[in-house]
Homo-oligomer: A and B are copies of this chain.
Amino acid sequence: MHDFEKSKTSVCPKRSIWPKRSIWIDKNTQTVKVIDQRYLPHKYIIYELKTLKDVINAIKQMVVRGAPLIGVTAAYGVSIILQNTPSGVDETACLLEECELLKNARPTAINLVYAVDRVLEKILVENDLNIRKSVALTEADNLAEEEVENCRKIGEHGVALIKELSDKKNGEQINILTHCNAGWLACVEYGTATAPIYKAHDLGINIHIWVDETRPLNQGARLTAWELGEYGINHTVITDNCGGHLMQHGLVDMVIVGTDRSTYTGDVANKIGTYLKALAAKDNNIPFWVALPSSTFDWDLDSGVDQINIEERNSDEVRFISGELDGSIQKVSIMPATSRAANYAFDVTPARLVSGFITERGICKASEVAIKQLFPEKFVLDR
């Protein structure tokens, strides 16, 4: 276990000091470091990214997770590939090959491919390896800063929705349900779904967050609860089964979730179970918002259920649950060893169930027309 360390590019993440960051460059070692999110909230462990293998492992094994953080990690990954370029090889061929491996580390988060391609585009116009290294690092830093700024803006725009409800209820507590972790741990700072929540708290709005535990890996119970607790935000962890009941009984005022990939028509891929909460929100006339930086839109897809590749992960994530026991992390088996288990990691919430998107440019409905109004430059080609 380590303390948080100073980042080259930004204020360091440090317990109980805001802002926090989930990825940074260690000033002394000049290496990229991340929080190993597999061990939170029980242990606070730093994971160092030195090789492509480290980066791919971090993404695959979910040391880092969350669409924006996966993207930024992958961007630094390109820089790490360059740092490790062996001598006497075709540098560009080697780079492209390794970037392909990196892009395939996980299938659903669009930010992974976006980030790698973005850094690649900047470096492929250069020929000198040292210049490439420097350009890659700068571009990864830029992406990190952009993600932070996007999340900050998502908070600014999204808080208006919370404030509106709070005013309607004359300042009574606003109950917000969220699924999985779309917090600063999933991003670099602020988070997506949590950005309006942190901002509302800063403004003194009376809020309470229902945190879905989010099986199989419990990112809600482990990460969102930890984040919110560290920031002093009133919250309650519930099982994934519970939200519908709460909504039926008027105990949820709004839902805000993140997304790993959304179509330009408004369909939302997010952690498995999101679709069920969206159905319950619709059935109870509760607004269901999706917070995302525009880098999470897939401008090529028009139908989420048909076209978004849903990752199927190792069934051991269902069979076993990790938790803390007498100070150490243990995995217990929760089902018969002879039974099969299946582990689909995401689902798609159709646009018709989404009240709208909270983006860095503002709020829009979950429709092609509305998304186009906010991001016209993405629609320059006829589809």
Contact = CB atoms under 8 A, between A and B. Distances in A.
Interface of A: 41-42, 211, 213-216, 218, 221-222, 225-226, 228-229, 235-246, 248-249, 271-273, 275-277, 279-280, 283, 305, 310, 318-325, 330-336, 338-344, 346-348
A213 B213 contact: no
Which of A211, A305, A319, A336 is the most central at the interface, judged by chain B CB atoms within 10 Å of its CB? Answer: A336
A225 B273 CA distance: 21
A204 to B, nearest CB: 21
A268 B60 CA distance: 41
A335 B222 contact: yes
A222 B339 CA distance: 10
Which of A225, A228, A246, A346 is the most central at the interface, judged by chain B CB atoms within 10 Å of its CB? Answer: A225
B236 A273 contact: no
A216 B275 CA distance: 20
The interface residues of chain A, by DSSP majority, are classed as mixed
Nearest to A238: B342
Contact of A213 (B244, B245, B335, B344): B335
Contacts of A305: 248-249
Nearest to A248: B305
A174 B271 CA distance: 27
Given A334-B221, A340-B236, A248 B348 contact: yes
Given A218-B334, A244-B275, 12 more contacts: A221-B335, A221-B339, A222-B334, A226-B339, A239-B273, A242-B344, A244-B347, A245-B275, A275-B280, A279-B283, A321-B334, A322-B334
B336 A225 contact: yes
B218 A241 contact: no
Contacts of A271: 241
11 contacts: A213-B318, A218-B335, A221-B335, A226-B336, A242-B272, A246-B344, A248-B305, A275-B280, A320-B323, A322-B332, A323-B334
